Amino acid sequence: MNPYSDEYFMKQALAEARLAAAEDEVPVGAVIVCGDRIIARAHNQTERLNDPTAHAEMLAITSATGSMGAKYLTDCRLYVTVEPCVMCAGAIGWSQLSAVIYGTPDEKRGFTGYAPNALHPKTEVRSGVMKEECAAEMSRFFKDKR
């Protein structure tokens, strides 16, 4: 496998999603890549932190801006297992990430259904990377909850 492919980085995001599931959090994982280097990793921590804004994307953006020492992430890409929500899309837009690559859509809360223009105009969006694996992680988690 090409170590710099979308699939490689999505596998890293999936590893974060699995950490979330192990902590009884909704299994969403994210990594931010600048060049070919992962500069931030995160997974949902809304339960642990008792914070509804502690989504994987939000935590990854905070970590990445700290790592870069800048509020804009114009040369970075976000890989996330599930389509970002409107809140996260707003943060992605403000941080000016160059690309958002997500695995499975979120038909209930995904930004494309509610705020398709929330991202920065130059942000590229690619979906469906490892879609089945990302969807399976979510399905497994909610099936076990029922």
In the set 16, 25, 57, 137, the catalytic residue is 57
Is 107 labeled as catalytic in the residue annotation?
no
Rounded distance between C-alpha atoms, residue 37 and residue 79, angstroms: 12
Among 103, 97, 111, 85, residue whose Cα is nearest residue 40: 97
In the beta sheet, which residues pair with residue 99?
A: 77, 124
Q: Which residue has the tokens 């837009």?
A: 93
Among 39, 95, 100, residue whose Cα is nearest residue 70: 95
The answer to whether the CB of 76 falls within 8 A of the CB of 34 is yes
Which residue numbers are catalytic? Answer: 57
